[in-house]
Structure 1
Amino acid sequence: MAEASRARRTKGRPDDGLFDRELDHLPPEARWREWMNRVEATIFAASEPVDRETLARIVGKNCSIDLLIDDIREELRGRPYDLVAVAGGWKHLTRPAYADAIRRAVGGSERAVDLTQSEVLVLMCIAYFQPITRAELSTFFGREISRDLIGNLRSHDFIASGPRAPQPGAPYTYVTTQAFLLEFGLDTLRDLPDREALEDAGLLSKEKLLAGDIMPGFAGNEERDGLLETDK
Structure 2
Amino acid sequence: MAAANRRKAGDEAPLDRELADLQAPARWREWMRRAEAVIFAAAEPVPREMIARVVGADCSIDLLIDDLNEDLRDRPYEIVAVAGGWQHRTRPRYAATVRASAAPVRSPAAGLSDLEATVLMAIGYFQPVTRGELARILGREIGRDTIGSLRGAGFIGSGPRSPTPGAPYTYVTTRHFLSAFGLATLRDLPDIEALEDAGLISRHDLEAADGPGSEEEAG
Which bracket does the TM-score occupy, shorter chain normalised?
0.7 to 0.9
2:148 aligned partner: 151
Deviations 1:98-121 (A, max 9, x none): 445545657336955254443333
Structure 1 Cα separation of the partners of residues 77 and 19 of structure 2: 29
1:193 matched to 2:181? The reply is: no
Structure 2 Cα separation of the partners of residues 137 and 101 of structure 1: 36
Give the one of 73, 83, 87 matched to 1:87.
83
TM-score with structure 1 setting the length: 0.70
1:76 matched to 2:64? The reply is: no
Distance 1:138 1:170, change over 3 A: same
Structure 2 Cα separation of the partners of residues 190 and 96 of structure 1: 19
1:219 aligned partner: none
2:20 aligned partner: 24
Structure 2 Cα separation of the partners of residues 11 and 194 of structure 1: 53
Counterpart contact for 1:103–1:110, Cα < 8 Å: no
- The CA deviation at 1:65 is 0.8
1:42 aligned partner: 38
- The CA deviation at 1:12 is 6.0
Give the one of 123, 131, 134 matched to 2:131.
134
Distance 1:50 1:139, change over 3 A: same
TM-score with structure 2 setting the length: 0.74
- The CA deviation at 1:157 is 2.3
Structure 2 Cα separation of the partners of residues 168 and 24 of structure 1: 64
Deviations 1:81-109 (A, max 9, x none): 21122222111222344445545657336
Structure 2 Cα separation of the partners of residues 139 and 97 of structure 1: 37
Counterpart contact for 1:80–1:94, Cα < 8 Å: yes
- AA paired with 2:90? T
- The CA deviation at 1:168 is 3.6
Structure 1 Cα separation of the partners of residues 12 and 184 of structure 2: 29
Give the CA RMSD over aligned residues: 3.3
Structure 1 Cα separation of the partners of residues 135 and 98 of structure 2: 40
Q: Which runs of 5+ in 2 are unaligned?
A: 1-7, 203-214
Distance 1:31 1:101, change over 3 A: same
Q: Which residues of 2 match residues 213-228 of structure 1 at below 5 A?
A: none
Structure 1 Cα separation of the partners of residues 24 and 70 of structure 2: 19
Counterpart contact for 1:103–1:109, Cα < 8 Å: no
